[in-house]
Amino acid sequence: MEMHATTILCVKRGNQLAMAGDGQVSAGQTILKGNAVKVRKLLDGKILTGFAGATADAFTLLEKLEEKLQAYGGNLTRAAVELAKDWRMDKMLRRLEAMLIAADKDKIFLLTGNGDVIEPEEGVVAIGSGGNYALSSARALLKHTSLSAAEICKESLKIAAEICVYTNTSITLETLGE
């Protein structure tokens, strides 16, 4: 499922985790808003989340994720799996059109309505229409520079914005760790 109108990137390097998202909201070929916030912290700042897709659907899923996190004592792995099960099996949640990235200091997960809970191997994952551009850039920067996770996120989002018409340079950046 490819979501248009956004780019979200999460990078882990050493003890730092960073997540960045652009601010563009589009309807077809029209930009509706340029400074939307699609990356936020949950659970008193211990969890970073970002979303691509229908905003109301994503907010519903973020609320459900936060409920699961509270129910399972902040265990992101368990909360992510339980959310994915509900998302796939619940008649109403099944219709929600969004993708999420959720991360804590140890783990990063990509969550979809297909029941996917994917942990990337290289500590980097991206979603949205500009996701592949940001992902490629981030992987190269991880291999060939000593930039921090936050710097990689910023630079990769800027590169994605130069290529993807659904991505802009109004970047929201959140970090965990050093």
Q: Which residues are catalytic?
A: 6
32: amino acid identity, one letter: L
- Cβ atoms of 41 and 31 closer than 8 Å: no
- Cβ atoms of 165 and 7 closer than 8 Å: no
Overall residue count recorded for the chain in this entry: 178
At 88, give phi and psi (nearest 5°). -80, -35
* CA-based nearest residue to 139, from 118, 166, 165, 160: 160
Q: Which residue, chain included where needed, has tokens 């140890």?
A: 106
